[in-house]
Amino acid sequence: MNVIKQTVKSALKVGANVFPEFYAKTHYLIRFKKKLNLRNPASFNEKIQWLKFNELNDDIYTLCADKYKVREYVTAKGCGDILNTLYGVYDNPQDIDYSALPEKFALKCNHGAGYNIICDDKSSLDIEKTNKKLNEWLRQDYSANFVEPQYKKIERKILCEKYIENERGGFPDDYKFYCFNGKPYAVMVCVGREKGTPKFYYFDMNWKPLPFEDTIELIKENHCPEMPEGFNKMKACAIKLASDFKFVRADFYLLNGQVIFGELTFTPSAGLDVTLQEADVFLGSQLKL
C-alpha cells in the first residue's frame, strides 16, 4: 500500500511540473469546492495562485525563498543585525560535525517549508535517523507539492542555526507581517505555541485588532496581547524587506524585545488556506496585481 501511495504521489508531482495550472486548479477545487479564477482573482488565496504563474519564477523570488541566500537579501536591505546565528551550511548530512555543535541547535533544509529538526539535547539525538531524514528531504522537489515555483531552482543545502528559546525554555512568539505592494498592512501574532495551544490574532499597523471573527472571539475569551517591545522595529524591517514585491509575508520572532528574522513567505499555505475565512476576501482586497 505504501508503495502504491508513493507511486501515485510521484506521478502527481510529475503532473505538477508538466501541467502546473491544471494541477493548481485541481487542488483549489478540492480544497474550496469552487473553481479557481485566474483571469479575475479576487480573494487572497486566488491572488496567491495568480502570483504563482505571473511573478514567482523571477530570480529574486528564488533568492528570497532560499533560507540560506535570503540572508544576503536581508543584509543588503540593512537588516543584517536581526539574522539568527548560523553555525554551518552543508551540502549533505555527512558533512555535519555534530561533535562541534552546541548542545542545542536547529537543522533545516533551505528549499521548502517544514524541513526542520529541532535539537534541544544533543546527547539524545539519533544522528543516523537525523541524517536519513535530511537526505530524504534533500531529494524532494518541494516546489511540485502545490506548484510553488520560487522553490524550484534553489540549490539545496542544510543549515544549522542557533536554537531559539525564551526564558521559560519554550518557543518565542512569532509575528507574520502581511505586506502588500511594499507596505505592511496586517500582522498575525502567534502566542502560546510552547503550551501546545497556539492562539492567532490579527492586528493592523497601529495594533488595533482587525475585524476577523476568530480574532474578535479570542479577545473576548482572553486578554488582548499588548503591543510588544520590538514591534516598531519589526514593522520597519518589514517595510525594507517588502519593497520589491507585490506580496510577501515577512516573518519574525521576538525574544525579550530582540527581533530575529524568520523567513520571507510568498505563498502562505500554498494559497490553499481554509482557515482565513472572511479574512480571505479582506486581505485579497489589499493586494493590487
Query: Domain of 149?
Result: 85-163
Mean pLDDT of 209-238: 88
Domain assignment present for residue 107? The answer is: yes
pLDDT band of residue 217 (cuts 50, 70, 90) is confident
* pLDDT at residue 277 in the model: 73
Domain assignment present for residue 52? The answer is: no
Backbone phi, psi, residue 187, to 5° = -125, 130
* pLDDT at residue 32 in the model: 94
Burial 240-253 (b: 16+ CB within 10 A, else e): ebbeebbbbbbbbb
Residue 77 contacts residue 241 (beta carbons within 8 Å): yes
Judged against a pLDDT cut of 80, whether residue 2 lies above it is answered with no
Mean pLDDT of 186-192: 88
Domain assignment present for residue 37? The answer is: no
Q: Which range (154-158, 166-170, 210-214) has the least confidence?
A: 166-170
Residue 209, beta-bridge partner list: 203
Domain assignment present for residue 132? The answer is: yes
Task: Give the DSSP letter string of 40-108.
Answer: S--SHHHHHHHHHHHTTTSHHHHHHHSTTTHHHHHHHTT-GGGPPPEEEEESSGGG--GGGS-SSEEEE
pLDDT band of residue 170 (cuts 50, 70, 90) is confident
Domain assignment present for residue 211? The answer is: no
Judged against a pLDDT cut of 80, whether residue 76 lies above it is answered with yes
CA distance 136 to 143: 15
State the average pLDDT for the chain: 91
CATH code, domain with 111: 3.30.1490
Most confidently predicted of 6-10, 58-62, 169-173, 186-190? 58-62
Of the chain, the percentage scoring pLDDT greater than 70 comes to 92
Tens digit of each residue's pLDDT (9 = 90 or more) over 5-41: 555 455 556 666 778 999 999 999 999 999 999 999 9
Of the chain, the percentage scoring pLDDT greater than 90 comes to 76
Domain assignment present for residue 109? The answer is: yes
* The three grid cell numbers given for residue 140, joined into one nine-digit string: 524532494
Give residue 196's region: left, alpha or beta (phi > 0; psi -120 to 50): left
Domain assignment present for residue 104? The answer is: yes
* pLDDT at residue 67 in the model: 98
* pLDDT at residue 234 in the model: 98
Residue 264 contacts residue 68 (beta carbons within 8 Å): no
- Give the predicted TM-score (pTM) of the model: 0.92
Judged against a pLDDT cut of 80, whether residue 59 lies above it is answered with yes
HSE-up (13 A, CA, CB side) for residue 262:
22
Closest CA to 158 of 99, 97, 72, 103: 97
Residue 278 contacts residue 217 (beta carbons within 8 Å): no
Domain assignment present for residue 190? The answer is: no
Tens digit of each residue's pLDDT (9 = 90 or more) over 102-131: 999 999 999 999 999 999 999 999 999 999
Residue 189, beta-bridge partner list: 175, 201
In the chain, the amino acid numbered 165 is E
Choose between 240 and 257: higher pLDDT.
240
* pLDDT at residue 160 in the model: 98
Q: At 8, which helix (H) or strand (E)?
A: helix 2-18
**Domain total of the chain:** 1
* pLDDT at residue 3 in the model: 53
